[in-house]
Amino acid sequence: MDRVKDGAHLAALDARLPMPENVSYVDALAALIASEDLIRKTCQEHMSPKAITSACLFGFGVGNRALAVSSGFRTMVEQQNSLCALPLVRMHLDTLLRLYAGFWAANHQSFCHEVLMGAQINRMKDADGHKMTDRFLVDKLTTRNPWVADVYKQTSGYIHFSGRHIRSVMRMEDLGSGDILHGQLVIGPKDYNRQQEDFCESIRCVHHLNLILDFALKDWFIRMCRPDGHIPDATEIWGDYEQQPES
């Protein structure tokens, strides 16, 4: 793991681009670390605003949670603990969904203040009067990132106790014919038959979420945190850049 942490592989992948499917475990983890640095730098660049607004605090909260969850995910991957790592993917997606809820709210400053005071986002409404439930947020984000719906569905099964957790203790071996040879019950946090390379797909997912979070946070701090409340059109800041957050 020292090879990853000392940055020796950071040049192998551009952290600003999604990873290829055939990425190695070492390079994937290095790119994930680099993507966390992008979020950290974006937040730090905006930590001395002329005035602290509720929207500023909301953005910093999003960035801080994103860094904490991504870091925790890496730790669980290193320990080969998928039952803890995969729920964190769902939590990471939750952070992104709620950041976009801020873009879609009728009054984002009031929205941020209410969230700061304890309001539940899934009971709040967007500018068109739609209640911003998880399903609404997922469906809206999926129009731009179709893979989000599948990630939400697959990782939600790890949040609440389910058959996935029961099956995790059973290790069955069978013959080529499908007849059961023998079975074992395995108790412990470390995956019995999963290698580090088996985590590459979930690492790619968290990395991609980090990239979207970083860009969305840049847009949030530049356009949504102005003390005068004015929100410039996204094209004024980003032109026609196809990855700009939808607002």
pLDDT at 172: 66
- pLDDT of residue 134 exceeding 60, the answer is yes
Give the separation between CA 195 and CA 90, rounded to whole angstroms.
Answer: 21
CA dihedral 37, 42, 44, 48 (to 10 degrees): 180
Average pLDDT of the residues in 128-141: 96
- pLDDT of residue 4 exceeding 50, the answer is no
Lowest mean pLDDT among 212-216, 228-232, 239-243: 239-243
**Which phi-psi region, left, alpha or beta, contains residue 241 (left: φ > 0; alpha: ψ -120 to 50)?**
beta
- pLDDT of residue 243 exceeding 50, the answer is no
pLDDT tens figures, 35-91: 999 999 999 999 986 788 999 999 999 999 999 999 999 999 999 999 999 999 999
Give the separation between CA 38 and CA 45, rounded to whole angstroms.
Answer: 11
Which pLDDT band, with edges at 50, 70 and 90, does 115 fall under?
very high
Which pLDDT band, with edges at 50, 70 and 90, does 164 fall under?
confident
Which pLDDT band, with edges at 50, 70 and 90, does 12 fall under?
very low
Tally of CB atoms within 10 A around 205: 23
The answer to whether residues 68 and 94 touch, using CB atoms and an 8 Å cutoff, is no
Amino acid code (one letter) for 72 = G
Strand runs labelled E in 108-179:
170-174
pTM: 0.84
Give the separation between CA 50 and CA 46, rounded to whole angstroms.
Answer: 10
- pLDDT of residue 247 exceeding 90, the answer is no
**DSSP conformation class of 222:** I
The answer to whether residues 234 and 220 touch, using CB atoms and an 8 Å cutoff, is no
Amino acid code (one letter) for 25 = Y
Both structure tokens of 162:
């389910």
More confident residue, 21 or 205: 205
Could you tell me which residues come within 8 angstroms of residue 49 by beta carbon, excluding any fewer than 6 positions away? Answer: 56, 225, 227
Mean residue pLDDT of the chain comes to: 85
More confident residue, 11 or 138: 138
- pLDDT of residue 2 exceeding 60, the answer is no
- pLDDT of residue 3 exceeding 60, the answer is no
Give the separation between CA 137 and CA 145, rounded to whole angstroms.
Answer: 12
